[in-house]
Every structure is written in structure tokens, then in C-alpha cells.
Structure 1
Amino acid sequence: MIAITSKELIGLIMAFLWPLTRILGLIAIAPPFGNSSIPARIKIAFGVVLALIITPGIPPFTEADPISLSGIMILMQQFVIGLGMGFIMRLVFAAIEMAGTLTGMTMGLGFASFFDPQTRGNTSAIAQFLVLVATVLFFSLNVHHALLIALMDSFRTIPISMTLNSGFDFHRLAIWGEQIFIYGLKLSIPLVTALLLTNVALGILTRAAPQLNIFGIGFTITISVGLLILGMILPYLALPMEILFQHGIDAIQSLGTSVQHTLPQKLKLLPSP
């Protein structure tokens, strides 16, 4: 007969619960797993399956009473770490969404907005389209595999510990937020430049022929040029988005570099065979 003491039972529960909390924190916010259209039961079941797979390979950590102050603090810490890792991937999609928003406003489609279940707000049609393209690339480039591998490695670089400063760099997480504007602007530069030249040409045409109704033909021309340029550059957006995804994975990995551990080799995003 197998006898298990209460201390051993609590240790087994905590060895599963604390990693599960970090995993659920990432799933709660990281797109596309954190999409509100996905039922909560599916997210919890996915997190439980990942925890069952990851838990046996996690290095041993300090035991603590789950109902004590230290145990509650560890639980909160793991959830915040998971949220931080998912927030970085959310920033990647926010940069792509910002590029679509800038493009849509320049084209004159700023009024054509739809409800986005991810952000629970209104976004432009071009932004929604680019986010859908990014989601397809997210799975076709195996970024979801790289994200899960980075999550598994985080238990080594950011170990579960009773100390609150166990390798999680909040400052680096905040600084990385500026990448939204940098990459959003870089992705939208081709379309914004083409539409800027189109608006300059329309301004010159209006000065040359004042009798033309610029409001009658301006929107049609800018929208047509914008859609044409978008169709031309769409095949070339895969590489910038792949680089953006790679930077996101690298940022997730670098969150725990303040601890003296050797980081794993840089993850490579390879297309599916």
C-alpha cells in the first residue's frame, strides 16, 4: 500500500499549481491563445495539458506552504511572469495593428472600423486584415512552437523561487513597449509614402484645375492606390513580420537574463514542411 503524507501531497500540488499559474498567465493575454472568442474551458484545458508536460522537467524549487504569505506571493509572481511574457507577444500584434491603423487613416478608411474581440475595441479594416495575415504567419512559421519552447525555458532562466526578484526584469519589459511605434511605423512606411505622394499629386492637380471636385475624386483615388500598393507589397510583408516575431521571442527569452544561467540557443522560426 502506497502511503503519502500531507506534506508530500502539498508538494505535488504546488509543483503542478505554480507552473500552471505561469502558463495560464501567458495563455490569458498572448495572441492568438488569449483571444476572447476562445472559450475559457479550452484555455484552461490547454494550460493543464502544458503543465502536465512541462512540470516533470522543471528544476526543483523551494517548498512553501500554499496558504502562507510566501506561497500566495509565489502564486502571484508566477501569474505576473506569465502575463509579462504574453504581453510581449501582444505588443508584436499591436505593432502590426498600428501599421494597419496608420495605413487605413492615410487611405481614408479610418471611418471603416470593426469590433476587435482581442482588444475589445474598434479597429480599422486594414488593421484587421493585417492582423489576420500575421495570425496565419504566426502558425505557418511555427512561432507558436517557439513561444511554447521559450515558455518551457523560462522555468530555467526565471526559476520558481520565494524571492520576488528571481530574474524577471520589469524594466526591460517596459522599455520593449516602445517597439510598438518603431515597428508599426516601419511596416506602414511603403503604403504611407505612396499615399503621401498621391495626396501631393492631388494637391497639385487641384491647384492646376480648381474646378475639379477634390472631395469627389480624392477618396476614390487614395483608396484605390492604397489597395493597389497593399496588394503589391503583401507578398513582401512575410519577412518583416517574421523578424518582428523573432524579436518578440528573443525579448521573452531575455526577461530572465539577469540570473546567472546560460540561455538556450536562439530559436529559429522555420516554415512548416
Structure 2
Amino acid sequence: MSLLQQFLGAQLFVWLLVFARVGTAFSVMPTIGDAFVSTRTRLLFSLAVSALVAPVLRDRMPGMPGDVFRLLVLMVGEMAVGIFLGTVARLLMGALEVAGTIIALQTGLSNAQMFNPAMATQGSLPGALMGWLGLLLLFITDLHHLLIMAVVDSYATFQPGGAIPIDDMANVVGQLVSKSFLLGVQMSAPFLITGMLFALALGLLNKLAPQIQVFFLFTSVQVAIGLFMFALTLAAMMMFWLTHFESTFVDFLRPT
């Protein structure tokens, strides 16, 4: 009976550590961690994945601690790694919001707001549309499988029970914030150029004919040009983002 209790205790300990990382990562990263997914669905999915991968990861787990404090330390460490993994994917989704905000400012649509699933908050119309398309492309291209495999492969990089490289994590987050902003600006570069040229043309026209309210009269033209350009460049922008999302995530989580 004691052997059975020890076996069940060890199995539950391994499953608990795996669930701490997997469940935390899935609650933060896009797709399964978005606001439109119910908490119960998210929890059941995390439990199922943890139960499947726990036997495979058993050899990587540390020994069962002798007191509750050490167990809590292990749990907090695993949850910190899970939050970090989910944040990496979430930051890459932030490039869509940056691009959408710039496009909205350049096309005169910045006053219209709607729910953006990529950021789980209110955002601009172009950013919300690109956020929905980004989530759709992740599912269509099966990149949500990459997110799941990345969490499992992270045990080769972040050993359970080992020291957490907080400095390296902070550096990675800072680099990803910079890269996410850069991607957003690169995606919206045609709108930035067109918007500056359009504003320059309106400024010159206002100087030539100051009695005409050019900015009031040409606002609808600005919106029409912006929507036309958005329709032309949307597919290219989303493919550009998807390529960088996959390459960045694969390079970052490649086991060493």
C-alpha cells in the first residue's frame, strides 16, 4: 500500500508541475488564451495537454520536495516560465495592433473603436480586423500547434527546479517589444508615406487657396484612399507578419 501511495504521489507531483507551466502559458498566449475562449474550456484543454505530456517529461522533473515551501517555490518558478512563454507569443501579436493604430491615424479612422482580440481590449478598426485575421491565420496554418509544441520543448531550455534566468528573460522581452514595434511600422510604411504626402498636398493647397476649407472637404477623400490602400496591402501585410511570427518563435524556442 505504501508503494502505491508513493507511486501516486510521484505521479501527481509530476502532473502538478507540468500543469503549472502549461496552464499558465495557455492562459496568456494567443488562440487558446484569448478572451473569447471560456475559462472552463481553457482549463480543460490545459488539463488534457498536461496529462498527455506528463509521462514524457517525467525524466526531466526534479525529485519531490520534502516540505510545502519548496513545492511552492517550484510551482512559482514553473508559472513564471509559463507566463514568459505566453508573453513572447502575445508580444508578437502586438505588431498587428501597432500597424493598425498607425493605419487608423493615417486614414482618419482613429476615432472608431471596437474590440481587438489580439490585445483583449478596445482598439482601432484596422487593428481589430488585423487581430482577428492574425488569429484566423494561426489556426489555418496550424501555427497553434507550434505554440503547443513550444511549451513542451521549453523543458529543454528551462529545466524544472533550476535557476530562472530573469536577466535573459527581461532582455528577450525588451528585444521582442522593439521588434514588435518595428514590424508594425514596417507593415504600415505605405500608409505613413501616403499620409505624409497627402498632408503635404493639403498644406500646399491651403496656402494657395486659404479661403477653402481643404482639410474639411478632403477628409472623405483621405478615408477613401486609406480604405483602398488597406484593401490592396492587407494580404501582403498579414503574410509578412505571419512569416516573422513563425521565424521568431521557432528561433527563440529551438532546443539547444
CA–CA separation in structure 1 for the residues paired with 2:49 and 2:252: 18
Higher mean displacement: 39-48 or 104-113? 104-113
3-state SS of 1:210 partner: coil
Amino acid at match of 1:122: Q
Q: CA deviation at 1:32?
A: 2.0
CA–CA separation in structure 1 for the residues paired with 2:36 and 2:238: 26
3-state SS of 2:122 partner: strand
CA–CA separation in structure 1 for the residues paired with 2:134 and 2:120: 18
Gaps of 5+ in 1: 255-261, 264-273
User: Superposition pairs for residues 1-273 of structure 1, below 5 Å?
Assistant: 4-58=3-57, 59-65=59-65, 68-116=68-116, 119-161=119-161, 163-165=162-164, 169-175=168-174, 176-250=176-250, 252-253=252-253, 263=256
Q: CA deviation at 1:114?
A: 1.8
More helix by percentage:
2
Q: Deviations over 1:160-193 (max 9, x none)?
A: 12x3337993233333222222111111111221
Q: CA deviation at 1:149?
A: 1.5
CA–CA separation in structure 2 for the residues paired with 1:216 and 1:174: 43
**TM-score normalised over the length of structure 2:** 0.90
Q: CA deviation at 1:142?
A: 1.8
Q: CA deviation at 1:120?
A: 4.7
Q: CA deviation at 1:251?
A: 5.5
3-state SS of 1:32 partner: coil
Q: CA deviation at 1:13?
A: 0.4
CA–CA separation in structure 1 for the residues paired with 2:120 and 2:67: 35
Higher mean displacement: 213-222 or 242-251? 242-251
Higher mean displacement: 208-217 or 42-51? 208-217
Given that residues 108 and 222 in structure 1 are in contact (C-alpha distance below 8 angstroms), is that contact kept between their aligned partners in structure 2?
yes
CA–CA separation in structure 2 for the residues paired with 1:93 and 1:66: 41
Q: CA deviation at 1:210?
A: 2.3
Higher mean displacement: 134-143 or 163-172? 163-172
Q: Deviations over 1:204-245 (max 9, x none)?
A: 222222232223223211111111111111221233112221
Amino acid at match of 1:192: L
Amino acid at match of 1:155: Y
CA–CA separation in structure 1 for the residues paired with 2:170 and 2:15: 29
CA–CA separation in structure 1 for the residues paired with 2:98 and 2:28: 18
Given that residues 118 and 128 in structure 2 are in contact (C-alpha distance below 8 angstroms), is that contact kept between their aligned partners in structure 1?
no
3-state SS of 1:109 partner: coil
Q: CA deviation at 1:7?
A: 2.9
Amino acid at match of 1:160: P
Stretches of 4+ aligned residues off by more than 6 angstroms? none
Amino acid at match of 1:93: M
Q: CA deviation at 1:77?
A: 0.8
Higher mean displacement: 59-68 or 190-199? 59-68
Over the aligned positions, Cα root-mean-square deviation in angstroms equals 2.2
Name the CA shift for 1:167/1:122 in 2 (closer, same or farther; >3 Å).
Answer: closer
Amino acid at match of 1:182: L
Given that residues 118 and 132 in structure 2 are in contact (C-alpha distance below 8 angstroms), is that contact kept between their aligned partners in structure 1?
no
Amino acid at match of 2:139: F
Given that residues 113 and 124 in structure 1 are in contact (C-alpha distance below 8 angstroms), is that contact kept between their aligned partners in structure 2?
yes
CA–CA separation in structure 1 for the residues paired with 2:16 and 2:198: 57
**TM-score normalised over the length of structure 1:** 0.85
Q: Deviations over 1:99-120 (max 9, x none)?
A: 1011101212111112346645
Given that residues 159 and 166 in structure 1 are in contact (C-alpha distance below 8 angstroms), is that contact kept between their aligned partners in structure 2?
no
**Identical aligned pairs, as a percentage?**
20
Q: CA deviation at 1:60?
A: 3.4
3-state SS of 1:237 partner: helix
Gaps of 5+ in 2: none
Amino acid at match of 1:48: L
CA–CA separation in structure 2 for the residues paired with 1:48 and 1:186: 39
